Amino acid sequence: MQVLKFGGTSVGSIDRIQNVAAIIDEISQTEKQLAVVVSAMAGETDRLVALYRSLGVSIETREYDLLVASGEQASVALLSAALRKRGKKSTPLLGFQAGFVTDQKHSKAKIQNIETQHIQNLWADGSIPIIAGFQGVDAAGEITTLGRGGSDTSAVALAAALGADVCDIYTDVSGVYTADPRICPEARRIPILSFEECMELASLGAKVLHPRCVELGAKYRIPIRVINTFNRGECTVIKQMDSEDKGLESPVVTALSHDHNMILVTVHKAKNAVQDYARLFGPLSDKGVIIDIISNSAPDAQGFFDLSFSCPKEDIVNVETLLKKFGQEYTVRSGLSKVALVGTGMRTHSGVAARVFRILAEQSIPVFCTSSSEISLTCVVPSELVEKTIQSLHKGFELGNP
Amino acid sequence: MQVLKFGGTSVGSIDRIQNVAAIIDEISQTEKQLAVVVSAMAGETDRLVALYRSLGVSIETREYDLLVASGEQASVALLSAALRKRGKKSTPLLGFQAGFVTDQKHSKAKIQNIETQHIQNLWADGSIPIIAGFQGVDAAGEITTLGRGGSDTSAVALAAALGADVCDIYTDVSGVYTADPRICPEARRIPILSFEECMELASLGAKVLHPRCVELGAKYRIPIRVINTFNRGECTVIKQMDSEDKGLESPVVTALSHDHNMILVTVHKAKNAVQDYARLFGPLSDKGVIIDIISNSAPDAQGFFDLSFSCPKEDIVNVETLLKKFGQEYTVRSGLSKVALVGTGMRTHSGVAARVFRILAEQSIPVFCTSSSEISLTCVVPSELVEKTIQSLHKGFELGNP
């Protein structure tokens, strides 16, 4: 039993839809229980969202969801028609027809339950369900959408609900790479990645899969394969590492990710760590500002310390408004980017930070802030040095060699 | 109680959708029971149909209906959002949510029933229902669409089901004219038109309303107003003529219509009228060819006669294939157009035909075939003389004078 998901670029034109129909036709020769989840045609959701935004209304409405859900409605209809043309029996299903029940949070609904009876009936009838991703229906019968990473999340959630063996995410890249190949020509596809590494990479800026869908895969232990629709020979398998994989020595660093869109705020001479954090971060969280890296200096002789945190660039107005109320001297630095090293091997290997700083020092790359988790190390560097940083670290940690 | 319907050009851009929201807002100040039916944004249905057709699949499928129904889904969502922005409470409804139940004929479904309870509930709740025209749901829960004239038909059918006082069709022209103003600059808007005149005009080529929707208005006696969205001062009211209107002397001819797209077929020396008609028109009807005008000459001394009929130009291949099987000598003329005179006054006035032929003879316009109903007279003329024909008849019957 298999769930296939095709992204927007994979169904971006009639030719591409016909190509996807051929892939489904081929797989269905050997796999009888197949469910297909489809995104809107590339550019369509953006077009609809732009129309909506020009009205100047909040997106957290049933109107927004009804509008953007029409994008997937068109693509499932076209894909099912392309399969019909090939003589293949399939049934296009909107989110609500496929049994996706969500909460009522318009534009960012969460899947509560998937009633798979309809899909099971279609299988019994020899028909392939072609399901609109990204959408569902709430208890009141209103159409909802899932927000960012929605279609991938639909696919993995469906695989979990059906108890599928695997969820294949067809997209326009051949998997997850050791670094962005546009920045780092030596970057190499990673054949197998653990859920936790993938989640770290996604959270730290790699764009292949949304953390939400990886989290779901990890929770229900559904292996996710990232496959290039236009070159199906290569892929990355994201899975729970089991005994077989544990036999291998994990590399210290598996991959690098980066994210351009950030500012670094430093509050000078804060005094009472816990209280100050609460006074500052509480209101920021109320405004929906996502605080990423937090770091503080050790207190000086008078007990004062500097507190730094990073957040997305678009939140700068909210942040400055609150900092002014906070009443403490502060600095806001923009033009900065994150570069992160991720790898489960970092758990058992010491000296990663030392190696990173040595490599960066050799290249005269200044680091404004660092942060680490059990399996990642993040450095904040000037945006104009991101490429150089990634190239140096990729080479320094020999990520180009399998 | 009022049903408003806005066509594709009326909601063709965000600015226009905001304009429509302003109109609804204004009308809702005095009219509390208001239902709004909306078409897809101009060009959107054509875009979706072109995508579908490029797959080379029949349109009589659930995939086609699901696809094209997404056009109205987008426009009701946007219009409802524009009303929200104005602080006006409304609810976007897809065809199935609004209670439109149809038969199962995909791409040309007929409305069987409208369950208006949801709309009544919204009124009780102070919300204006914004309804996707052109679509419904069949007994199996599949989304269907109504085919040509669909959104107008949705609106008039809803007005009938609700028992509304009037159905207002907002479009991009100021009503029905005595002739096409692009061809005949003297053409005048007709303030009041009977259902039967409007139906004749629509059947004979005038594009303002589809005959299907006018027929429904006539059946349920729902007055239809054709209003210009961009200039609401003027309109045409289409209604059952009652005692008040009967006081007026009906003009002999109310309006002219024309249709460019036809061929005229003449079968020579047919012998047995009824049998030959059956042998020829049966198979043509099976092929879906719509025969329009039929006329035959009186039989000659041997009992032979010539049989002529007109049909749409695109059917020429089907027609010629069948004529070859029919085995009788035939002529096919293309480059012909219909010009029709319509008016309830023709019932009681003789001499219309004589006047028509006198006018056309003065202009040396040849007539290849004629046909008449109780309230219309149709002439087939060379396409290059259509403008001249219309201008001459418009002048000859003084249609420019109220």
Residue with tokens 């009929």: B309
ipTM, two decimals, is 0.83
User: What are the residue ranges of helices labelled H in A5-43?
Assistant: 14-30
The pLDDT value recorded for residue B306 is 83
CB of A305 less than 8 A from some CB of B = no
pLDDT tier for residue B244 given thresholds of 50, 70 and 90 = low
Give kind and range of the element (H or E) at residue B321: helix B316-326
Cα separation of A366 and B79, whole Å? 52
Element (H, E) at A77: helix A62-85
Q: Phi then psi for B256, rounded to 5 degrees? A: -115, 145
Beta-carbon count within 10 A of A301 CB: 5
Query: Within a 10 A sphere around the Cβ of B198, how many other Cβ atoms?
Result: 29
Residues of B in contact with A63 (CB under 8 A): 77-78, 80-81, 84, 92
Q: What is the pLDDT of residue A248?
A: 58
Angle (CA) B2 B3 B4, round 5°: 115
**Tokens representing A241?**
């590492």
Residue B380 is inside which H or E element, if any?
strand B376-382
- pLDDT confidence band for B352 (50 / 70 / 90): confident
Beta-bridge partner residues of A92: A130
User: What is the distance of C-alpha B330 from the center of its chain?
Assistant: 32
Q: Which amino acid is at B244?
A: E
Instruction: Convert the pLDDT of each residue in A23-66 to its tens digit.
Output: 999 999 999 999 999 999 999 999 999 999 999 999 999 999 99
Over residues B297-337, the pLDDT tens digits come to 777 788 788 888 888 888 888 888 888 888 888 999 999 99
Q: Residue A328 burial by CB count (10 A; 0-12/13-18/19+): exposed, middle or buried?
A: middle
- Whether pTM exceeds 0.90: no
B324: its two tokens? 């070859």
A247 confidence band (pLDDT: 50, 70, 90) = very low
Confidence of residue B273 (pLDDT cuts 50, 70, 90): low
pLDDT tens-digit series, residues B29-53: 999 999 999 999 999 999 999 999 9
pLDDT tens string B113-157: 999 999 999 999 999 999 999 999 999 999 999 987 899 999 999
Residue with the two structure tokens 């990673």? A190
Which residue among B52, B74, B85 sits closest to A67, beta carbon to beta carbon? B74
Cβ–Cβ of B73/A74 closer than 8 Å? no
Asked if A69 and B66 come within 8 Å (Cβ–Cβ), the reply is no
How far apart (Å, rounded) are the C-alpha atoms in residues B71 and B134?
10
Residue type, B397: F
> B358 CA to chain A: closest CA distance, Å?
56
Which residues of chain B does A84 touch, with a Cβ-Cβ cutoff of 8 Å? 57, 61, 63
CB B201 within 8 A of CB B207: no
Average pLDDT (A100-124) is 96
- Average pLDDT over chain B, rounded to an integer: 91
User: Would you state the structure tokens that stand for residue A88, as one six-digit string?
Assistant: 């293949």
B19 has a chain A CB within 8 A of its CB: no
Name the average pLDDT for chain A: 91
Contact B132, B76 (CB under 8 A): yes
Q: How far apart are CA A151 and CA A154, in angstroms?
A: 5
Q: Does position B246 have pLDDT exceeding 60, yes or no?
A: no
Instruction: Look at residue B350 and tell me whether its pLDDT is greater than 90.
Output: no
A81 in contact with B, Cβ within 8 Å: yes
- At residue A118's C-alpha, the angle toward residues A116 and A120, to 5°, is 70
The answer to whether A49 contacts chain B (CB < 8 Å) is no
For A137-170, write each residue's pLDDT tens digit. 999 999 999 987 899 999 999 999 999 999 999 9
